[in-house]
Amino acid sequence: MVVASAPPDTLAPSVQAVRAVLDAVCDPEIPILTIADLGVLRDVRIAAGCVTVVITPTYSGCPAMHAIDQDIRAALAAAGYGEVRIETELAPAWSTDQMSAAAHAKLRSVGIAPPAHGAHDKRALLGRKVPCPRCASLETERISEFGSTACKALYRCRSCLEPFDYFKCL
């Protein structure tokens, strides 16, 4: 027997299905990373047909957060979810340690040095040798504390001479 697929407006939400939809929501400034990769997506809850998505801000003033909020709503609306709430959770504070290993590999693939693990360690937070994402040389230097976005710093490799972004450890 063939079961007709439910029309979008009667879609019964499941957490797994919602997460699959959210896997297509990317950071607007580093679009290779999904919000799950980044650790911005904290939780998905469903109660009485209403989907609640819990997110956490990266930096206090990150302008991408507003865009991420809108992108989540748009993605879920397009997938047929009618009632969506977005909650912002501040504690525990977002840390680059919450980024997945897959996220690190993705960053490297586009020439961004991933954050050093161990944000609780002040030495990691405040500068340790950052390997060049292109040639892996440790002969790198910081050009500026802030790069193209709040979450990145600008570095230069002294071996291959390429400048690169470093996703700061926070």
**Subset of residues 68 to 107 that bind other proteins, contact rule: CB under 8 A:** 90-95
What SS3 string covers 84-109? EEEEECCCCCCCHHHCCHHHHHHHHH
Determine the interface stretch with other proteins among 13-21, 39-47, 106-114, 120-128 (rule: CB under 8 A): 120-128
The whole-angstrom separation of Cα 29 and Cα 44 is 23
Among 37-45, 55-63, 74-82, 131-139, which window interacts with other proteins (CB under 8 A)? 55-63
168 binds other proteins (CB under 8 A): yes
When binding is defined by CB under 8 A, the residue of 35, 41, 107, 119 that contacts other proteins is 119
One residue of 60, 70, 109, 159 binding other proteins per CB under 8 A: 60
Residue choice 17, 52, 59, 79 for contact with other proteins (CB under 8 A):
59
> Exposure of 5 by Cβ count < 10 A (0-12 exposed, 13-18 middle, 19+ buried)?
exposed
Q: If we measure between CA atoms, which residue out of 157, 152, 154 comes closest to residue 132?
A: 157
Nearer to other proteins, 46 or 86 (CB): 86
Residue 102 main-chain phi, psi, to 5 deg: -60, -35
| Choice between 62 and 107, CB closer to other proteins | 62
Which of 154, 156, 160, 162 touches other proteins by CB under 8 A? 154
**Does 39 sit near other proteins (CB under 8 A)?**
no
Count of residues near other proteins by CB under 8 A: 28
CA distances from 57 to 38, 62, 87, 94, 151 (A): 10, 7, 11, 7, 12
What are the backbone angles phi and psi of residue 86, rounded to the nearest 5°? -115, 125
